Amino acid sequence: MISHLDGTVCAIAPEGAVIEVGGVGLLVQCTPGTLATLRTGTRARVATSLVVREDALTLYGFASDDERDVFELAQTASGVGPRLALAMLASFSPDQLRRAIAAEDITALTRVPGIGRKGAQRIVLELAGRLGSPGMTASAGAAGTAVPGPRAAPWRDQVRAGLVNLGWPSRDAEQAIAAVEADLAGAAGNGAVQNGAAGDGAAGDGAAGDGAAQDGAAGDGAAGDGQATGEVDVAQALRAALRKLSRA
């Protein structure tokens, strides 16, 4: 069992990444959300799961230990192999998948490419209680997290690559991205405006009273947070696009 990899990211492709460890480049199959946290030429640590077959040894990589554990547990359900388990984690975060199964949300599960209604019912029946409760396990910020972070640009290219890797035609992927782009940009922009306004207020308070320097600095920090909030979360964008495609 290879529990994790810690090395330099040599290459990133739609279906995975090559991470060099001890002079050996290892190909790791990843979800688009995990790939979005990786940067070529930088050091990364990813949790891994090795799947052994007669004709291949395939290494799957994840942003956290929790994601890897859910990937392995999902395969205990009948008819769920590594590729389908990976598609489930491309559509849901580990806690979202736990909630869908706990709530017996068949409709949500059928949005995953390759899962029909009967398959979703079987997954709910066989995985009920096995994945744990939402929020009880380590979050994506655990030691298994790859660097540098969950947001990346250009997000459109990464989401498109993820959708194509999951089997959607490029044209459909583009249409789904266009459909969710306005909503995502608006949500991110609103967060930036709200945080930026809080920052202006903090700066104003600093100028009006004692401790102006300290309050002014707090205002600048808040404004910076607003700018960061304006970025688009690639994993969130991918899941929104998958929902659009599944409803088409």
> Residue 87's pLDDT is what?
93
- Choose the final residue of a domain: 79, 110, 127: 127
**pLDDT by residue (tens digit) across 60-76?**
999 999 999 999 999 99
For residues 177-197, average pLDDT: 62
In a shared domain, residues 35 and 94: no
> For residue 188, what pLDDT band results from cuts at 50, 70 and 90?
low
| Segment 16-64, tens digit of pLDDT | 999 999 999 999 999 888 998 899 999 999 999 999 988 889 999 999 9
Q: Measured between alpha carbons, how far is 92 from 12 in angstroms, rounded to an integer? A: 22
E strand or H helix that includes residue 151: none
Residue 29 lies in a domain: yes
Mean pLDDT of the chain: 76
Higher pLDDT: 111 or 246? It is 111
Is the distance from CB of 145 to CB of 63 less than 8 angstroms? yes
Whether 7 and 43 have beta carbons less than 8 Å apart is answered as yes
Cis peptide, bond prior to residue 32, ω within 30 of zero: no
Tell me, yes or no, if the pTM score tops 0.75.
no
CATH code assigned at 11: 2.40.50.140
DSSP string, 217-241: HHHHHHHHHHHHHTSPBHHHHHHHH
Provide the residue type at 62 as one letter.
F
Q: What is the CATH number of the domain that holds 76?
A: 1.10.150.20
Both 120 and 204 in a single domain?
A: no
Q: Check residues 39 and 203 and name the one with the higher pLDDT.
A: 39
Q: Checking DSSP bridges between strand 57-62 and strand 24-30, what pairing results, if any? A: parallel
* Beta carbons within 8 Å of 100's beta carbon, 6+ residues apart: 92, 108, 109
The pLDDT assigned to 203 comes to 45
> Rounded CA gap, 33 and 147, in Å?
12
What is d(CA 97, CA 109) in angstroms, rounded to the nearest whole number? 8
How many domains, in total, are found in the chain? 3
User: Which domain covers residue 203, as residue numbers?
Assistant: 155-247
166 pLDDT band (50/70/90 cuts)? confident
Instruction: Give 170's pLDDT tier (boundaries 50, 70, 90).
Output: low
Let me know if residue 172 belongs to a domain: yes
Segment among 50-54, 72-76, 211-215, 241-245 with least mean pLDDT? 211-215
Check whether 135 has a pLDDT greater than 90. Answer: no
